[in-house]
Amino acid sequence: KQWYQRRVRGNETVVSNVIRRVLKIIREENEGPDATSFSEGLAIFFRSDSKSSTIGRKDLQDNILNSIVELLAEQENSQSNIISMALEHIHANELILTYGHSNTVREFLLHGRKKRNFRVVVCESGPSLIGHKMAKELSEGGIETTLIADSAAFAIIHAVNKVIIGTHTIMADGALRAPNGAHQITLAAEHFSVPVIVCAALYKLSPTHLCSYDQDAFNKMIGPENMLNFSNTKLHSKVLVSNPEFDYVPSDLIELFITNTGGHAPSYLYRIVSELYHPLDNDLDNMCVEELDDENT
């Protein structure tokens, strides 16, 4: 009953995506003309007192566990697989712009620095200013790095060869739930026809579709402490501060996704979604409700 907690927030999509991958594994291992139903397959895997299926409880558990081990290995190696493609996308004497702080993007750029000389412009990414950390780490790695204010991105992006960013979530249609401020960077890049490349592992690819106007489901509001000085208590009583953590970036602003399985255009992601997830597992909240209803009847 507790294999999925409905209290998991919609914006923590990696947790939901991994659950969907495991459910897909159970469905595939339990399919066939003599296989049990999906709910019985779950019972066989999680309960020691469940009835044996036609392929045998022990065999089913072993097959599922082996597949989960392969899934874990895929996720552990995802960043290294992305990094290994850096030299295919970074060329000598390029000027690259990035936004926010992404471990994958950082290692991607540092790997490219081993055989390429290029420069990087980092936006400071207000109000959190995590771009300062990114600029420091790239500079320490031997990359010529320039830190700029977010408002200066439009003025400099015409000289940039490409934009490379990370993201929190990739939507099924290729849109992004990216760090707040990323939308303005991608809009500026589109204006000057600068390609935008997103580095992200496939465990961030979600089968769901979310829209920017549905802020309750899409976004996450965080505290205003990095925007306001709490010492000014008189001001706080008169001001309501909205500080969203994410930006919605439409898929038509993205040129290429670099994932652990290679480079993919946004229009191809629907195919990957169908390979990774079963359509019945897309809405996990409704699955929980239906499962509880079945057990109560």
Instruction: Specify the pTM.
Output: 0.82
Count the residues in the chain.
Answer: 297
Which pLDDT value is given to residue 91? Answer: 95
Which pLDDT value is given to residue 60? Answer: 73
Quote the radius of gyration of the chain (alpha carbons, Å): 22
Q: Is-contact 174 205, C-beta < 8 A?
A: no
Which pLDDT value is given to residue 86? Answer: 95
For residue 186, the Cα-to-chain-centroid distance in whole angstroms is 17
Which pLDDT value is given to residue 210? Answer: 72
* pLDDT, tens digit only, all 297 positions of the chain: 333 443 444 457 888 899 899 988 888 877 644 444 555 555 555 554 544 444 556 677 788 888 899 999 999 999 999 999 999 999 999 999 999 999 999 999 999 999 999 999 999 998 888 999 999 999 999 999 999 999 999 999 999 999 999 999 999 999 999 988 999 999 999 999 999 999 999 999 999 887 656 666 667 777 777 777 666 667 667 777 777 788 889 999 999 999 999 999 999 999 999 999 988 888 776 665 455 455 455
SS3 243: coil
Which residues, in sequence order, are bridge partners of residue 198? 165, 257
The sign of the CA dihedral 155, 161, 167, 171 is positive
Provide the pairing of β-strand 119-123 with 144-148.
Answer: parallel
